[in-house]
Each structure stands twice: as C-alpha cells, then as structure tokens.
C-alpha cells in the first residue's frame, strides 16, 4: 500500500506590477519555472507589467508565486494580482513569449 498523498495540479495566472521590465524578470522567471518543472509561459505586457501563466503541483506553484512576489535583483515588485483555477494544459516546457 502506498503512503503517498496525491498531488493536486493547478493553474496560476499572475500579473506582476512594479519595476519589472528591463531587469531580467522574464528570464529569471523562466529559469525558476523550469527549475520547478512547471508548464506555461511568461511575457512582458505593453502596460509595463509581466504576465505569467503556470501549471503544476500546487506546492510548487506556491514556491513560484513567492518568487514572483520577490523577483530578481534589480526588480521592485509593487504587487502581484493572482488568479487560481484548475489545470487546463499549459505548454510544456515553460516558455518566454513575445510582448503583448
């Protein structure tokens, strides 16, 4: 009999506000998502925010969200608007998308 607890996979959509463009935010986010084994993408938005869609184990997504709230050296995160839902099949491996 297995003693493991089932892993719940979720989807996190986040928009990060603050000084988050021109500081390597997308690429460090990409590295962090890949390290955690998450699916999804990150992109800059024309309004100066960074948008992230990530799917994976809820525990890993919570670690990822903690990173988004902090950002890389040089970033000044003013806030993160987050929306959680059920996993829907985001692209794997994690990607950096073009600004939209």
What would you report as the CA-atom Rg of the chain, rounded to the nearest whole angstrom? 14
Annotated active-site positions, please? 26, 44
Cα 71 to Cα 65: distance, rounded to the nearest angstrom: 10
- Provide the β-strand partners of residue 51: 15, 43
């Amino acid at each position: 009999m297995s003693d493991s607890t089932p892993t719940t996979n979720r989807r996190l959509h986040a928009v990060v506000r603050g000084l988050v463009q021109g500081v390597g935010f997308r690429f460090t986010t990409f590295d962090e998502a890949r390290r955690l084994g998450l699916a999804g993408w990150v992109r800059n938005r024309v309004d100066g925010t960074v948008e992230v869609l990530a799917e994976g184990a809820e525990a890993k997504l919570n670690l990822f969200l903690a990173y988004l709230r902090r950002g890389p050296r040089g970033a000044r995160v003013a806030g993160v608007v987050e929306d959680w839902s059920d996993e829907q099949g985001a692209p794997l491996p994690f990607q950096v998308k073009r600004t939209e």
